[in-house]
Chain A
Amino acid sequence: MNAVFAVARADFRERTRTFTLLVVIAALLQLGYLWVPDASAAYSTVDLGGWRGIYDSAWMGTTTAVLITFILPMFGFFLVRPAFSRDARLRTYEIVAAAPLARSAVVFAKWLSNVALLMAFAAVLTGAAIAMQLLRGEDRNVDITAYLVPLIVAGLPVCALTATAAIVFSAVRPLRGIAGGVAWIFAWEALLATPMLVTHGTSVAAVDPLGVTALIAALFSGLHGVLPSANTDASIAIGVSDRSTHVFRFPGVSWTPGMVAVRAAWLAVAAAFAWAVAPFGIAAPRSIAKPRRFAMLPARIASRLPLPRLTRAELAAALGAAGPWWLFGAVGLAVAALLVPAEILARGVAPLIWIWPVGPTAAASVLDARANLDGVLLATATPTWRRIVARWLACVALAGLPIVALALRAGPPGLATIAIACAVAAVAVFAGTLTRSAVAFEVLALCVWYLGPVNRLPLLDPNFANAHAAPATAIAAALVLSALGGAAAYGARRS
């Protein structure tokens, strides 16, 4: 077992000493700040039918646990999932695979490292909550226990379950890519929604692995203890508030042995499942396609396109990595976008068109880093900004065919659709250049896709942008310029 902990510790250290982690921590601190709006803010986060708790430790500790329960399974999953693909990319897979430590032990160590990393993220959110309690100043008495108990009792099982999901999604080959990301988003949605649909009672715990209902019930129980007549119209979301929010003194969650036992049971389930799948968990790097003409088709096609040479080469490399089936899928989506009825286009085909290029685009944005070519490219006569522009054009071209078809269906306002695709590609190039990893863009793109094309959140919905084509195009153009400018400036830096 010592060896397992040693592997887990080394893996944790390796994953926490990255620039990407600093970006994640900054994002978590920002989220922690937004989660505790000022009394005069135009939005609310945890709103219990027009009431919220005074910002004391009991309220802050519990609502931070709610945030952890909602957010970490989503973001955290994508941050810990690349544990094995990173080994393949760094060429340490063979060393790990050849080591005497059993495969299952290595996988379990990765799971422990995943849990530790997710708990570190949860701890950052908790730290931010303590700081916000002091900053908002409604009650400056900090009760550490009120923060730690929800963090451990509610947060730890959530982190463990998320870590297990990441292991499973790494082990099953079809779930490793962007398709797995999409599947997880819907699984996460189901995990949150299912317990809400079940009548309150003991059966809820069995279908609520994340423990959402227990926390929400505790919040309402606290409210009803103070105000028996309060209504039960709960909303937990960041949004514009159109009503004044009253405050009450939340007494805290009474953690009964039953509640703790249920959470402990889910923790045990997560650990047991991780142990059970461990023997199957090492993701061997996929061998490169056999040198058949079919596998080389996308790169061959790209090599013959009338594009600038650099763009053509970048596109060939990106399409080569995406493979022929991905290309056929893109062509199929383009045809579908032109032919299907408007309702099916809006509900089914359009969201697919927006998600389809995310994986290859994320990969294309870090092609040189993945191939260990950045030194060679930086030493060439071509200035960085030209390479950045070529890469961006290649990313635009990756999404091009179905996006153009989508734009054609929209008519003149479809220009905004193309502008958004250009902006998405620019953000991919910026994120890839900055972090040298595809993960940041993948996570961002999946979240935006889920909120915009799937759930029609106006500001992130391309249909909404089409309805406001001129400002949307202008914003997209500004985003393209700033993202490419940032990428070129950062990419030209020498160590």
Chain B
Amino acid sequence: MNLLEIDGVVKTYKGGVEALRGISLRLSPGIVGLLGPNGAGKSTLMRIIATVTKPTAGTVRWDGTDVVKDPRPLRAAIGYLPQDAGVYPHLDAREFLDYIAALKRLPSRAARAQIAQLLDDLDLTQVANRPLGTLSGGNRQRVAIAQALLGDPHLLVVDEPTVGLDPQQRVRFRDLLARLARDRIILLSTHVVSDVETTADRLVVVAAGRVVADGTRAAVIAGHASLEAAYLSSVGSAA
């Protein structure tokens, strides 16, 4: 069973802006919903976990390996969807995903099969041969999601994945995540409470660079009328 351990992570940007002020989490397989208002530090935390950004202090360990010092084991296991992820506009979905598959070092044959499956899962087959630049924002976001899912990652880090998706696609994406969550860690960052309300096994609320609530949905809601009320209360008390 994979384990992601985040211990005392601090990130201070140039100019003294403190994005994270000592975050500690232990993540095991299942969906973890990372909630927080804009500017709470969610994306910074995601970038640190994805090994794109180094923390100012603290450690991130993947199955015991400090990924700040050696990111390779985690990079071999991660699927990452950053906020505002881009695509190459002149490639079609299949070509773009094949490119990402090559970067993830997937064998060609396995990659082709996975790409076909993902295009089907994400309802992209009909537009798979069109240049990505001609696709709607929602379709481009689904291609970006597909690239994160390529390679059957053990750790899936998705930052605001449902931006641009219509309600039907949001439901479909949530179902897909629920299916995938059985044997992997999925960290889903959002400020839309409904995105994680029904799917997440665990909720982590971040505000002003700190964890202000952490537990199962029931534990986080305790004493409040709804998850949204609990979230607003946690965030409000941190402000």
Given contacts A288-B89, A303-B95, A371-B89, contact A379 B72 (CB under 8 A): no
Report whether B92 and A296 are in contact in the complex, using a CB–CB cutoff of 8 Å: yes
Bound form: Cα–Cα A393–B133 in Å: 25
Contact assessment for B80 and A376 in the assembled complex, using a CB-CB cutoff below 8 Å: yes
Residue B233 at the chain A interface, CB threshold 8 Å: no
Q: Would you give the 0/1 interface string for B136-169, flagging 1 where the beta carbon is closer than 8 Å to chain A?
A: 0000000000011000000000000000000000
A-B pairs with beta carbons under 8 A, tally: 112
Assess the B91–A320 pair: CB atoms within 8 A.
yes
| Interface membership of A495, Cβ < 8 A | yes
CB-defined contacts of B54 to chain A, threshold 8 Å:
494-495
Chain A residues lying within 8 Å of B53, measured Cβ to Cβ, are: 494-495
Q: A290 at the A/B interface (Cβ < 8 Å)? A: yes
Q: Which residues of the other chain, A, contact B87 by a CB distance below 8 angstroms? A: 371, 373
Task: Chain A residues near B92: list those with CB within 8 A.
Answer: 296, 299
CA distance A115 to B85 in the complex (A): 35
Binary contact readout B193-212 vs A (1 if CB under 8 angstroms, 0 otherwise): 00000000000000000000
Take A320-B90, A371-B88 as given contacts and tell me if A310 and B52 are in contact as well, using a CB distance cutoff of 8 Å: no
B77: nearest chain-A partner, CB-CB? A381
**Residues on B with beta carbons closer than 8 Å to the beta carbon of A378:** 51-52
Does A380 contact B100, Cβ atoms closer than 8 Å?
yes
Q: Which residue of B lies closest to A372 (CB)?
A: B86
Q: How far is the CA of A376 from the CA of B88 in the complex (A)?
A: 12
A347 at the interface (CB under 8 A from B): no
Find B131's partner among A291, A372, A379, A387 (CB 8 Å cutoff): A291
Closest-CB distance, A467 to chain B (whole angstroms): 40
Q: Which residues of B contact A494 (CB under 8 A)?
A: 51-54
How many Å lie between the Cα of A440 and that of B65 in the bound state?
39
* B79 nearest in chain A by CB position: A379
Which segment of B24-32, B33-41, B102-110, B176-184 sits at the interface?
Answer: B102-110
Q: Give the Cβ gap from A235 to chain B, nearest Cβ, in Å.
A: 47
Q: Are the CB atoms of A291 and B52 closer together than 8 Å?
A: no
Q: A309 to B86, Cβ gap below 8 A?
A: no
Which residues of chain B have a CB within 8 Å of any CB of chain A?
47, 50-54, 72, 75-76, 78, 80-82, 84-92, 95, 98-105, 108, 129-131, 133-134, 147-148
Residues on A close to B: CB < 8 A?
Answer: 287-291, 295-296, 299, 303, 309-310, 313-314, 316-317, 320-321, 367, 370-373, 375-382, 387, 494-495
Provide 7 A-B residue pairs closer than 8 Å at the C-beta atoms, listed in order of the A residue.
Answer: A288-B90, A289-B134, A291-B130, A309-B101, A320-B88, A375-B50, A381-B105
